Structure 1
Amino acid sequence: MRRPLRCAGAAALCAALLGLSCAAGAADVKSGLKIAFLPKQINNPYEVIADDGGMAGIKEFNGIGKVVGPSDAGASSQVQYINTLITQKQDAIVIAANDANAVVPYLKKAMSQGIKVVTFDSDTAPEGRQLFVNQANAESIGRGQIQLVSKLMGGEGEFAILSATPNATNQNTWIKWMQDELKKPEYSKLKLVKIAYGNDDDQKSFVETQGLLQAYPNLKAIVAPTSVGIAAAARYISTSSSKGKVAVTGLGTPNQMRAFVKNGTVKAFQLWDPGQLGYLAAFAAANLASGTITGKEGESFEAGKLGKRTIGPKGEIILGPPTTFDASNIDNFNF
């Protein structure tokens, strides 16, 4: 059975996605490296942008890149792909994990055979990889979500979280920090009534939004820290009587959310550039596979147009802080 696969595109992708010339920052990287990206879901719009960014980076340093992955976000759905990539003797696997633990034994097997493993966007347990490329500091993302929704709600009322899957590492980490932020006195009038799960599926997220509005008639906001969830929630509310009454915010791409900002359904939301996240992960994997870094804290490497990056504690590399998008700036972004 053929697996879903996307290969590195033309050089034009480099320029279109990141405005890159295809040479900088690749001097220390071996040519011809085979690097495979394994997203949570092959058809997730956010993941597609991130993976395309990775392919653009691989194109720059003359690597051989491809994207393979499942069509669902189940905890063990990535295992068969890891096994295949081991058989193919890839130089590196870059994975956004659907589960922190389910894939670890298989990634450890990959590393034992000399394949470098980099997680990005959604981490595994530390023993399952050598580096983790994080979009932003997890604590700042979580706390920032509460700060933003509090502002949108006027500092009081009921709100719900519409997450991805119950076992999504990144979602759960952000939610943990959201709950911690809620303990501060300034949020004493905010009440988190429910954490719902749309499984990063558009239709399920749409139905979950409907269910939240029915179950909590006094709901003032939905926070969806997932690009699939925020778009589905906004789509439902945009054509319902809740438009203008229930705020929708969270993490989404500007292109995905632009229409909902323009029609007043969404006032503000946040994200980083997922294309740059994938691009940074590609360079991290290439430097690891080339031996210019080993994954130790304090080591640095050149990441093309993103410049010099340094490995932090526990093998973490951070892309940068998220941007808040609203009607005043959303047309300045195209991803």
Structure 2
Amino acid sequence: MNKRLIVSALTVTLGLTAAVGLAQTSGIKKGLKITMLPKFINNPYFTTTDNGGLEAIKEFGGVGKAVGPSDGGASSQVSYINTLIAQRQDAIVLAANDANALVPSLKRAMAQGIKVVTFDSDVAPEGRQIFINQAKSDGIAKGQIELMSKLMGGKGEFAILSATPNATNQNAWIAIMQEELKKPAYKDMKLVKIAYGNDDDQKSFTEMQGLLQAYPNLKGVISPTTVGISAAARYLSTSPKKGKVMLTGLGTPNQMRSFIKDGTVTAFQLWNPSDLGYLAAYTAGSLASGMITGKEGDTFTAGKLGKYTVGKNGEVVLGPPTTFDKANIDKFNF
């Protein structure tokens, strides 16, 4: 064998050894079939979470896909879950449209050995192994009230423009916001209305219009949903109330950039949705590989995001949200 062939063979051997070493380090089985199931498709937020999940699945050698309904109804998600059961997926990673309605289907999935990871919006704990929380619910809720208070000068009427009435994450945040408002620091703030845009752009736009008409003294609106805040900002941007009614909530930088720059919105918050999907997919891969079971204290490594620990009730927290404003919004692209 000549020197060139020896060098080539050595290079191939070293490459294969390195690849095997990486596979052994990750510990995740190759070829796992994992599906991302968002609340509904064609939503920029969930497109980003799904892409983050698919990136992770590709990284650890799985077979990934993203499917979902075109509406936010629980029955639509049930149909997809049943199909995924029939397709014998190794794991389902979903953002739930309802805390309880999906549980029977998810229990059937788990009974057949399919691992279930929820993210963004949880189901009842008996319907999944692990929930990936974008941030602690109290941290999100308290952060939103604190930011709203700052924008309103600590006093006045404000409203909440939520997603669907059954959205578990939204309802948890709103309940904590209502408790937070009982503190002396917020005694001059009054929540006058909780409206629902059903995570639909036009419905959210119309609800924002209705809030401004029904409450002439309104000083602020919190919309903790990416569809709601962008639709509300679009209405506010051409309204005489622009600059007078403070709008904040949870949105993506790419959605909200123009509204920040034209003064419609001063500041809003969110986590990185791509990282949320990425973490959820790595969690699913770790579960399906038998590396973790979802019990409190389980630890695993989620690729570039590093090490995570499962907390109480099977919860894993991505991390604290970021506040976006004119000073930093151009540093982000999602």
Instruction: Report the TM-score when normalising by structure 2.
Output: 0.93
Partner in structure 2 of residue 56 of structure 1: 55
Q: Partner of 1:203: helix, strand, or coil?
A: helix
Could you list the per-position Cα deviations for residues 140-187 of structure 1 after superposition, in whole angstroms to 9, with x for gaps in the alignment? 101110000000000000000000000000000111111111010110
Task: Give, in whole Å, the separation in 2 of the partners of 1:124 and 1:333.
Answer: 30
CA-CA distance at 1:75 after TM superposition = 2.6
Give the deviation of 1:76 after TM superposition. Answer: 2.0
**Count of equivalent residues:** 313
Distance 2:295 2:63 in 1: 26
**Aligned residue number for residue 9 of structure 1:** none
Q: Which amino acid aligns with 1:273?
A: N
Match of residue 186 from structure 1: 185
Write the letter of the residue equivalent to 2:226: S
1:24, CA displacement in angstroms?
A: 8.7
Is 1:204 the counterpart of 2:186 in the alignment?
no
> Rg: which structure is higher?
2
Question: Offset at 1:305?
Answer: 0.3
1:102-123 deviation digits (Å, cap 9, x = unpaired):
0000000000000000000000
Question: For residues 96-245 of structure 1, what are the structure 2 equivalents within 5 Å?
Answer: 96-245=95-244
Change (3 A) 1:24 1:275: farther
Q: Distance in 2 between matches of 1:85 and 1:266?
A: 41
2:279 maps to what in 1?
280
Residue of structure 1 equivalent to 2:10:
none
Rounded to whole Å, the distance in 2 between the matches of 1:44 and 1:105 is 26
CA distance in 1, matches of 2:238, 2:282: 43
Look up the SS of the partner of 2:55 in the other structure: helix
Q: Secondary structure at 2:34's aligned position in 1?
A: strand
* Structure 2 residue aligned with 1:72: 71
Aligned to 2:269: 270
Question: Does the residue aligned with 2:26 lie in a helix, a strand or coil?
Answer: coil
How far apart are the structure 2 equivalents of 1:278 and 1:83?
A: 22
Contact 1:149 1:221 in 2 (8 A): yes
**What secondary structure is seen at the aligned counterpart in 2 of 1:77?**
helix
RMSD of Structure 2 on Structure 1 (CA):
1.0
Q: Cα–Cα, structure 1 residues 319 and 239, in superposed 2: closer, same or farther, change >3 Å?
A: same
- d(CA) in 2 for partners of 1:104, 1:245: 44
Q: Distance in 2 between matches of 1:246 and 1:162?
A: 14
- Identity, % of aligned positions: 72
Could you give the per-residue CA deviations for residues 14-53 of structure 1, whole angstroms, max 9, x where no partner exists?
xxxxxxxxx6996200000000011001111111100100
Name the SS for the 2:264 alignment partner. Answer: coil
Separation in structure 2 between the aligned mates of residue 26 and residue 284 of structure 1, nearest angstrom = 15
Which residue identity lines up with residue 97 of structure 1 in the other structure?
A: A
Q: Deviations over 1:183-223 (max 9, x none)?
A: 10110100000000000000000000000000000001110
Match of 1:89 in 2: 88
Q: Deviations over 1:308-335 (max 9, x none)?
A: 1000000000000000000011111111
SS at match of 2:75: coil
